[in-house]
Structure 1
Amino acid sequence: MQVMNSTMQMEASTPLPIKLEKSPYEVVHHLSSSNAVVVFSTTNCCMSTVAKRLLFNLGVGPTVVELDEHAAGPDIKAFLYQLAGTTRQPPIPAVFIGGKFLGGVEALMANHINGTLIPLLKEAGALWL
């Protein structure tokens, strides 16, 4: 499995190798604990685009995992459903900041609107100013 490690532009990304023999939990845990911001996304999801654009516009270069482009994507998505604790609300995009599961686009936007997103990003080392 490859994961895209993005810099300041959504188009600029470098593949990061992820071993397929790892369990979905191990993949999610490894990526979220070794990157300041991780977005588990699908390429055709408009809410995923909203989440990624917000982070990029804030100056964050999240690690983006496009689940529909990888063999382990369905298993990771199923794990994210369990992590989100619901079957009604889709877990994609799933945003991790500082190794912690923030939630989906609703949680990301709520934190942005109430002013807590920037401090979270700074604490995680995703922003320096």
Structure 2
Amino acid sequence: MSGCCMCTVVKRLLFGLGVGPTIVELDHLASGAPDIQAVLFHLLQESSSSSSSEGGGVPAVFVGGKYLGGIETLMACHINGSLVPLLKDAGALWL
């Protein structure tokens, strides 16, 4: 969502690392946003590492086409040092 502060944090982190992410902002889609949000919410519920505090499944981070998780998972990967290797393995980061 374009007005979501947590979505902004995710975008800034990825841009700051030199990644050019594909960004889909649900509030800017003409149609399909409710369906996409329902799928994201379902992924969030299936993910054992996510908590229910992440509202509606956004932000949802996919790396290399695989669902990584929300902001808590992304930040944990960044803090523990596994995010950069993950991005490199996916071809999203070259340095």
TM-score (norm 2): 0.87
Partner letter of residue 45 of structure 1? C
- The whole-number CA distance in structure 2 between the counterparts of 1:69 and 1:96 is 19
Match among 80, 83, 90 for residue 114 of structure 1 = 80
In the TM superposition, residue 98 of structure 1 has moved relative to its aligned partner by 1.0
- The whole-number CA distance in structure 1 between the counterparts of 2:39 and 2:65 is 16
Residue matched to 2:37: 77
In the TM superposition, residue 60 of structure 1 has moved relative to its aligned partner by 0.1
Q: Considering fraction of residues, name the structure with more strand.
A: 1
Moved more, 66-75 or 87-96: 87-96
Partner letter of residue 83 of structure 1? L
What do residues 45-101 of structure 1 show as CA deviations (whole Å, max 9, x unaligned)?
A: 000000000000000000000001111111100111011116933210000001111
Secondary structure of 2:92's match? Answer: coil
- The whole-number CA distance in structure 1 between the counterparts of 2:34 and 2:9 is 22
Secondary structure of 2:74's match? Answer: helix
Specify every segment of 5 or more residues in structure 2 that has no aligned partner in the other structure, as ranges: none
Taking only aligned residues, the RMSD between alpha carbons, in angstroms, comes to 1.4
Runs (4 or more) in structure 1 with deviation over 4 Å come to none
Specify every segment of 5 or more residues in structure 1 that has no aligned partner in the other structure, as ranges: 1-41
- The whole-number CA distance in structure 2 between the counterparts of 1:120 and 1:50 is 19
Answer yes or no: is 1:102 the counterpart of 2:65. Answer: no
Match among 58, 66, 89 for residue 25 of structure 2 = 66
Task: Give the number of aligned pairs.
Answer: 88
Q: Considering fraction of residues, name the structure with more helix.
A: 2
